Amino acid sequence: MPQLGYGVYQVTKDECERCVRDALKIGYRLIDTTQSYFNEEEVGNAIAKSGIPRDEIFLTTKVWIEHYGYERAKVSVLESMRKLQVDYLDLCLLHQPFADAYGAYRALEELYDEGKIRAIGISNFYTDRMVDFASFNRIKPMVNQVEIHPHNQQTEAKAWHDKYGIQMEAWAPFGEGRGDMFHTPELQVIAEKYGKSVAQVILRWHLQRGIVIIPKSTHLERMEENFHVFDFSLSEDDMAVIATIDKKQSSFFSHTDPNMVEWFVKMVEERKQQHDCTKDKKNW
């Protein structure tokens, strides 16, 4: 699994194929999408037209909540593969820790056994749920994709993931710039020291912590900037400075907030009726 990839969260259907093709031309080989982004077909088109051998691309998608439960999850994964135009997935995750996640995970285990998925895992599972899943499923999750960035560094969670041998992956490596991230004085000083951008310093910080990252941009120059982070290293002092800006809380929302859980439930019910929530602006 490449440690640096390209994510397509909130990349529109109109732009997605072009963006993924640009990312692949730059050199990205990990592409991350999900059923809930409604752009799997465009990702598949880009990969098919790229001319890059399938075994050189690490492709990830995720099962959305309304497809949880054993039977629905299995059908949805096969449908995702059809849209992506592939006969196997490199990684498939459960997108959220709600509903019949255990039933859905059994479907992933079975597809893994059949060779249709080469690695399986979870997303947005807090540490207690991660330990639960690692302990009470036949196949331990291999990846957990969660919110990680300099304002929410997940230090304790990473120690637990390391203990269980589960790779952490950041779905918001920049925290979407919230909290004025890109103007954080400590990060600006370090960026000036190396002649790099704050974004590049943040990505390098992730890499040196052993976190897989999937930064998203629709702009070619930003994609290139985000990819060029292997020609410098942060010192131990730099890493220690960045550790001081950890706010130790989400910049988005808490999955343990019952109001947030109700919001997910409402969204799933609406999607069952409408079969479309592309206009929904909430983050997930």
Helical ranges in the chain per DSSP H: 13-26, 40-50, 70-84, 101-113, 127-136, 155-164, 185-194, 198-208, 220-227, 236-243, 258-274
Under a CB-based contact definition with an 8 Å cutoff, are residues 173 and 222 in contact?
A: no
> In angstroms, rounded to a whole number, what is the distance separating the alpha carbons of residues 171 and 124?
9
What are the tokens at 61?
A: 């998608």
Distance of alpha carbon 58 from alpha carbon 198, whole angstroms: 27
| Sign (positive or negative) of CA dihedral 155, 228, 226, 42 | negative
Q: Which of 6, 37, 68, 112 is catalytic?
A: 37
CB atoms < 10 A from the CB of 25, how many? 13
Q: Is 105 noted as a catalytic residue in this protein?
A: no
Please give the Cα distance from 113 to 258 (Å, whole number).
Answer: 35
Contact 191, 197 (CB under 8 A): yes
Token pair listed for 164:
């269980």
Residues marked active site are found at 37
